[in-house]
Amino acid sequence: MSSESPLKDKVVLIVDDEPDILETIAGELDMCLIHKATDYERARQYLLSYTYDLVVLDIMGVNGFELLKVAVAKKFPTVMLTAHALTPEALEKSIKLGAVSFLPKEKISQLKEFLEDVVESGGRPGWKGLFYKLGDYFNERFGDDWKEKDQFFKEFVEELKKEGEYGTQNR
């Protein structure tokens, strides 16, 4: 494995209304050029004014789903990062609106690894890898049968299985 991160010199926008979260992420991604925003308007202006290799959005406090629509329209690979909106509904909405990944803030220490996966995949969605890596975590938070109880996730998981490698690591 190369010692140089695929994130080296990538331009990343991170948006969160908690300055300490922004600083934590910036520290984790010290090999990147970071733009930070703590509110919707500033984040929207950044999205409209610059080109990003990656965008990391909080959901609550910054109107993250509206920002996700802007980022996806600009074709920026976008990862949702949340604590308070950690629900199957928020995960589903993130998928439907075009996010490439979804990470609980509790797992922020793994953000660099998830973003490296996004870069290595060319910015394509990494849902198979996410469900592999965080499947037990989601089951613990949402209940073991959360995917089976929801028609969207039932169909979504079936599609992932058809694509192959569901339940196996994507690296």
Task: Identify residue 105 by its one-letter amino acid code.
Answer: K
When pLDDT is averaged across residues 64-77 and rounded to a whole number, the result is 98
pLDDT level of residue 171 (50, 70, 90 thresholds): very low
Nearest Cα residue to 42 out of 75, 21, 14: 14
Run of H or E including 72: helix 64-73
pLDDT band at 54 (very low <50, low <70, confident <90, very high): very high
- Topology of the domain comprising 11-122: Rossmann fold (3.40.50)
Beta-sheet strands, E only, within the chain: 11-15, 33-37, 54-58, 78-82, 101-104
**Residue 121 CA, distance from chain mean position:** 13
pLDDT tens digits for range 95-124: 999 999 999 999 999 999 999 999 999 998
Give, rounded to a whole angstrom, the gap between the first and last alpha carbons of the chain.
12
Q: What is the pLDDT of residue 166?
A: 54
